[in-house]
Structure 1
């Protein structure tokens, strides 16, 4: 089934009513027909029919065998880190969502897990940092917020040669544009809050593996059943609603993002533009080889920190807010908002600084977005 068909129809089995949408099963528990007999549903923390429909749809979109719908993107990251044990070594990219760094550095490091940050674009470096204790390579591609691109195939080969797992955070592109499992990753995770939802009204995470019967799937199933980070039935229904428009949303956002990225380069206030759809992006060819689209995320630098900070107060159409991937365009100041806890040495190594802004392009008219950015940047530069 093609992505568009899966997004629109999902995995709903048509019942006697002929309803096109999956029902919302707001039940905490389920009646058993008799002793040692079950409908397949026992208790809502373990399984819910609405959530099952969403998980089946996510698995189909990601090209996997089993998916879990979770309470947040960080719940998905937490499950990945929970696969590790004391003494394990984990490779993380230097450019990475700040919340993931916080979970690694402030929570899981206390359990004796060794997290090492490297430039994941350097495949030789990644290979040289593998140890016998390496359990996991964790990547984002494109990365947040500097838009670094990681070679998924190459890192999968390195991980598997050393008996390690490769987990890929696919939030910036969604499965409509990139399928890490098909490129060799063992786990793909998404902050479903972003493009999968697309309406800024659900906090959600997803986690998908290739084989539903694998030991990996069984271990994750145990963690999910025991820890209970599952998505609620109502939010599962909202996510099913959202997935019906995933393809048309992200393709329109990509079209506008390329237009805006090219236009930003013409502005006197802007010094650098980072967008994987620009043909002179350093990893443009690599990105094209492993993805079918470039998404709606742009980062750019202005001349001074004062201009970056002042522009946020002059926006009229675009919202100054965290998050991304929704129908509304959002502008974020990463060094204070999404990456406040990023260690200073990593900030220096990646180039993330106080002149950087991150734009999530929504579905507004592209000329209206350009007009808003132009007037805000002009006023900010004058004030600065």
Structure 2
């Protein structure tokens, strides 16, 4: 089935009870126990922390779209990531790409470090670095591609093959690409995570996270964590993401078309020194990206020639909100050094190229020509 069609026809087109063209919001926390002599698990829905009809619909939808066995929804993207990492035990070692989302690095190097879990950050652009970092106690590999915020490309098939060979749990953050453009499970990932707050929700009006497992067995283990931690979303937020997914194709196609035009224009600007976008012919790893994803996406970054030019851009830009987050209908201009990567040390930011001159753009649905004119005056 065409991916765009699957966003609409995913097994939850109508409410089976009434025929309504959409999933029902069940604003309930508990359910009638039909046989009081039996304990939890004796019926499909019992208490909403363990399972809920609206959440179940969303979880089945994302599992279908990612090509996985089981899907799970959480109260935020970080709740999803933290719950997946909750599958690990004290004494385990994690290898993570050094440019995964800053919040993920923070929780690995702080909260889970206190739980006795070690982390090694590597440049995943070279799969050999992953193999070299494997220890006897290594249990998981955590990747994100394109990376945040420099859009570095990781060869998923090559890296995931190394993880499989070593018996590691492989986790891929697919927030930037969404299952419409990239499906890591089909490339060998065990678990895919999303901040559905971003492109899947698509309207900057919900905070929610998702995870999809390759197998039923792994899914049952993650469900134990979900039910135990209880970091679940509410039914209204679940419904908003279900609604957002239906328009993902038209939003993302328009956004990445504009991103391509803007990236090409930025290359010509006298005050811009670097542009990072997988759709550009000179972008490192572009061929690998084209082999594992069906489009370059709607995220791009660029560097101004001076810090003053970057700060002035945030002050003068009118059609882009200077804010954290991404993936909404409005264009957002983020400053990675004080937003997404603030938890990264200054020395590591400098080493990675995440400088004070770096601006990250999440392109929205405004006209590309209007955004270019606005960016031009902000960069003047």
- Could you tell me the TM-score, scaled by structure 2's length? 0.96
Partner of 1:28 in structure 2? 29
Summarize the alignment of residues 311-350 of structure 1 with structure 2, pairs less than 5 Å apart: 311-350=313-352
Once residues 156 and 25 of structure 1 are traced to their aligned partners in structure 2, the CA distance between those partners, rounded to angstroms, is 39
Partner of 2:225 in structure 1? 223
Deviations 1:97-121 (A, max 9, x none): 2111111112111111111111001
Once residues 274 and 127 of structure 1 are traced to their aligned partners in structure 2, the CA distance between those partners, rounded to angstroms, is 27
RMSD across aligned positions (CA): 1.3
Q: How far off is 1:307 after superposition?
A: 1.1
Partner of 2:125 in structure 1? 121
Structure 2, unmatched stretches of 5+, are none
Partner of 1:3 in structure 2? 3
Summarize the alignment of residues 17-166 of structure 1 with structure 2, pairs less than 5 Å apart: 17-35=18-36, 36=38, 39-166=43-170
Cα contact 2:69–2:219 (8 A) shared by 1: no
Structure 1, unmatched stretches of 5+, are 379-384
Cα contact 1:9–1:244 (8 A) shared by 2: no
Q: Count residues in correspondence.
A: 376
Q: How far off is 1:2 after superposition?
A: 3.1
Partner of 2:365 in structure 1? 363
Partner of 2:266 in structure 1? 264
- Residue 15 (structure 1) aligned with residue 19 (structure 2): no
Partner of 2:185 in structure 1? 181
Q: How far off is 1:96 after superposition?
A: 2.2
Farther-moved stretch of structure 1 (16-25 vs 254-263):
16-25
Once residues 306 and 105 of structure 1 are traced to their aligned partners in structure 2, the CA distance between those partners, rounded to angstroms, is 32
Partner of 1:310 in structure 2? 312
Cα contact 1:95–1:346 (8 A) shared by 2: no
Q: How far off is 1:354 after superposition?
A: 0.6
Farther-moved stretch of structure 1 (227-236 vs 339-348):
339-348
Farther-moved stretch of structure 1 (141-150 vs 4-13):
4-13
Deviations 1:213-271 (A, max 9, x none): x1x22221110011111111111111111111011111111111000000001111100
Cα contact 2:275–2:301 (8 A) shared by 1: yes
Q: How far off is 1:39 after superposition?
A: 4.6
Farther-moved stretch of structure 1 (174-183 vs 349-358):
349-358
Once residues 31 and 243 of structure 1 are traced to their aligned partners in structure 2, the CA distance between those partners, rounded to angstroms, is 31
Q: How far off is 1:282 after superposition?
A: 1.1
Partner SS, residue 312 of structure 1 = helix
- Could you tell me the TM-score, scaled by structure 1's length? 0.95
Once residues 20 and 98 of structure 2 are traced to their aligned partners in structure 1, the CA distance between those partners, rounded to angstroms, is 48
